[in-house]
Structure 1
């Protein structure tokens, strides 16, 4: 079971703190014992001097280490409890250090140049052993599932819809459609579309022969109807329409097709350069975006997409074993083996991260500073103490031993000279 995000780190310094305290107590016991034996032999003087100086060094370092985190023995001595008393200043200093030394465009760009993000992503995607699927299943997949299930689906869908609508409103659709149509015609990719319309026209005419006959007969004059020629006239019209559609279908250079292509070329040009046409397309786009039916359609699409994502992430083996898994593996192989693709992906990743740091660096460090300031004094004290406390207890041990050695040295020079 994972520990809560706000749980304190384990206290790894406890054993070292006990050891440092026991060493100090031992030095005090040796000092008291050897003080009674000073006259019996000169060696006891050295032992006594060592223990005395070790006590002083150990107590001094105990005071220094304790003063970082709290008032020694609860006495509010000035310049003690340094960390809790200066919590806000420490938070600002940490944020400033992070901003100046890590979250700068130059530093990020330099670090990103040393990294091959594309190769690492390729190794991850192409790795076909169980480790990759385990990471996907236990890590990112579960995180995304929890996020998609915890968020209000209606509100999230509305947010996504509003975001897409804002982007669509900024997009000038008319020139884009004009360029797409112009490019399609330059490559003759519009001809299958015209063929499709011709076939559709033939099927529509076949399904509505009776209506066409009735229209022709109703518009014929009384004499034609009286002579019975109206039916033959309707048949001739239908035969002519069928023959026209057939000729258009088999002859790519048919004059009617040429007229259609001419109209499409004019439309492509007007979409790009005619202000009136562009304004008309813009109004149609805005009417479409404001249509409630489009919003309802999008909400249905979003809900199906959300459920599909949740199902895929909950069943990563099934998702990764099919076409999607094969495609991801092939993408991973390309990322690992194609230097040109790696260059493009790495350049994109570097520019993206540098842009994020440039735009949001101040907000990131502000988050760090605000988070630390939001901790109560005891919490931040315990976090820092448990993180570096073991090393600080070594300082106490070293201070005790070094103090003892200094005491022996002073005792030697005092009695030697």
Structure 2
């Protein structure tokens, strides 16, 4: 099969390109800019475009398939040429479905936790040498790519993102997968540029639940009232398996899971991660892994990249980097760190970076999100607000939204970094939450602070 990627440099797109190359397909692509790690990885497999830009002459009737990424625009000249030639154009999730329609599809959905849960499942399956196809939204230790596709594997595990599929396909990605087995971890309003009301956002999860193959199995977090209502009110003829936070305790900074075989020390912590673990266990059991084997494997799970990732630690200080950016994620992460390190000062830093978090109308959703922190810091770049063509937000608005009079706010990357490196972090747990990089913060340099 001869496939051309329009916008091959994206995190998901370049991984799919590599997976299809490894499957034996002929792969080419274009993009106007490609950065590392995508650039280096495409180059390693001989898939990096010779020059950046859009080239309609690359689009010919010899192509079997076009895969269109979200980075491209509707008026992209390669896309227009493909449409004029009548070529088959797939979105990323649409093509994943085509590759997996004869497999048992396991789809992990939810506003938060889906990357971690997918990672847990893949970690357990890999530990027990169970081969599956997969697509996950983070680079996992021990896995070469974020996408793996074969002809022979029976199962495929897919992280089910609710964002749009492509510039010309406005359906949420997870509506296209038609799962046999699914999980919903939680629902908290996000992507307000696409889903302008919370009810509209919730509807996407109703559609996802109803898109399951009749007779399929839905695993869901009954501790989330909205998830519980969405799943339990669905008329789809599916089996429903609720989960909740498992029994556990914390001792000397370590979280122990209470199991029939005894107390199991974990590398991860926090109620949200324990909920994730409970959901992952159900899914693994549906895929043929029994409870004891799950516990054996999960004990050494350290987390997905950028999800509560430990940067450095000594006897009195620990520093984490976390992808948390939406209000529910920020609240869960900050609360987890405080509960895990009760005797330490918790410093929580949050970068407002996404379209939603920089939107003045959405800021109120952050009320109380940093309350568990002893020291709370918010950074945002006014330039990012301009780039997203939003109305300017002020420090006063941000302080009012979080409802913390002592909130520390920075808008200049260098001033934020200078503040950070001035801190005495003895007896401190520092967590840096963002989907960005704080305007160029050197995370490696943080190790020198200890």
Structure (1/2) with the larger helix percentage:
1
Q: TM-score, length-normalised on structure 2?
A: 0.17
> Higher relative contact order by CA 8 Å / sep ≥ 6: 1 or 2?
1
Structure (1/2) with the larger strand percentage:
2
Larger Rg: 1
